[in-house]
Amino acid sequence: MGSIYLIRHGQASFGADDYDVLSPTGIRQAQVLGGHLAQLGVHMDRCISGSLQRQQHTARAALEQLDTAPTLEIDDAFNEFDADAVIRALVPGILDQEPEALTILRNGANNRAEFQRLFAMLIERWVSGEHDVPGLQSWQAFVSQVEGGLLRILERASNKQNIAVFTSGGTITALLRLITDVPAHKAFELNWQIVNTSLSLLKFRGREVSLASFNSYVHLQLLKAPELITYR
């Protein structure tokens, strides 16, 4: 069987003007991941990344630690969904019950717990399909985008290849939904637990794909440095 390693990007710059930049912690996480894969002797036949900066930077920082690595391929299908667009489109619908939502969401770095509570509420509305807004990518359209990327991988792959996909938490969640048929709201409950640079492993034969492991971050745990275990 072949293997697809789903790798979430390193810590980005939450609360900064540009989220799509790895923090110093994010760079370190990616380097540790690459060193871990090198120690395991994992050989990658293909390496694919979404086009977001944080995904590509994670890939390159990790791959630099390997003795040999294939050229990084870019596929937009593995980009994260536009969280800012979801917030902008759906927050008006919760203001009656959450009058402070705009202030909290604009200052998320200063109130992470409340930001997460409100963001989770908005995501639940998004994945339900009952609050679709013109111009906003729907959850179903996002899942279809990710499915297209997975199918392109499988069409080119042989059953003994190791393939790394550097992506984001929402994309991994969409793949969980596709592969395990877990309900979307349950998939997102798992999403909130996905650690930066964690590994989730898919096994495939032809177009048959199964989940072998989820959200492993032993490469960070072994360092006994809790500051490297992050979720954004």
| Residue 143: inside a domain | no
C-alpha distances in Å from residue 224, one per residue of 12, 81, 157: 21, 32, 37
Band of residue 56 on the pLDDT scale cut at 50, 70, 90: very high
Residues 76 and 103 in one domain: no
pLDDT at 20: 83
Last residue of a domain, one of 95, 114, 136: 136
Contact 221, 229 (CB under 8 A): yes
Band of residue 92 on the pLDDT scale cut at 50, 70, 90: very high
Residues 27 and 49 in one domain: yes
Q: What is the dihedral of CA 29, 30, 32, 36, to 10 degrees?
A: 130
pLDDT at 189: 87
**Closest by alpha carbon to 12, among 162, 157, 167?**
167
Whether the full predicted model's pTM is greater than 0.95, yes or no, is: no
Residues 47 and 104 in one domain: no
Residues 75 and 87 in one domain: no
pLDDT at 52: 96
C-alpha distances in Å from residue 170, one per residue of 8, 81, 145, 165, 227: 9, 7, 12, 13, 23
Domains of the chain: total: 2
Last residue of a domain, one of 92, 113, 136: 136
| Residue 129: inside a domain | yes
| Residue 156: inside a domain | no
Residues 116 and 61 in one domain: no
Band of residue 102 on the pLDDT scale cut at 50, 70, 90: confident
Residues 76 and 94 in one domain: no
Residues 73 and 50 in one domain: yes
Residue-by-residue DSSP string for 95-157: TTT-TTHHHHHHTGGG-HHHHHHHHHHHHHHHHHTSS--TTSPPHHHHHHHHHHHHHHHHHH-
pLDDT at 18: 65
| Residue 155: inside a domain | no
pLDDT at 13: 78
Question: Residue 63: what residue type?
Answer: L
| Residue 126: inside a domain | yes
Take residue 198 and report the two structure tokens written for it.
């964690």
CA 6 from centroid of its chain's CA atoms = 8
In the predicted model, is pLDDT for residue 30 greater than 80? yes
**Strand 208-216, strand 162-167: pairing:** unpaired
Angle subtended by helix axes 112-128 and 83-90, to nearest 10:
80
| Residue 20: inside a domain | yes
The conformational region for residue 9 under phi > 0 = left, psi -120 to 50 = alpha, else beta, is beta
Average pLDDT over the chain reads: 93
Whats the size of the chain, residue-wise?
232
pLDDT at 2: 95
User: What range does the domain containing 228 cover?
Assistant: 9-80+196-232
Residues 15 and 45 in one domain: yes
Band of residue 220 on the pLDDT scale cut at 50, 70, 90: very high
Band of residue 15 on the pLDDT scale cut at 50, 70, 90: low
The mean per-residue pLDDT over the stretch 6-10 comes to: 97
Residue pLDDT, tens place only, 162-195: 999 999 999 999 999 999 999 988 888 898 899 9
pLDDT at 16: 58
Residues 49 and 91 in one domain: no
pLDDT at 105: 87
**Strand 199-205, strand 2-8: pairing:** antiparallel
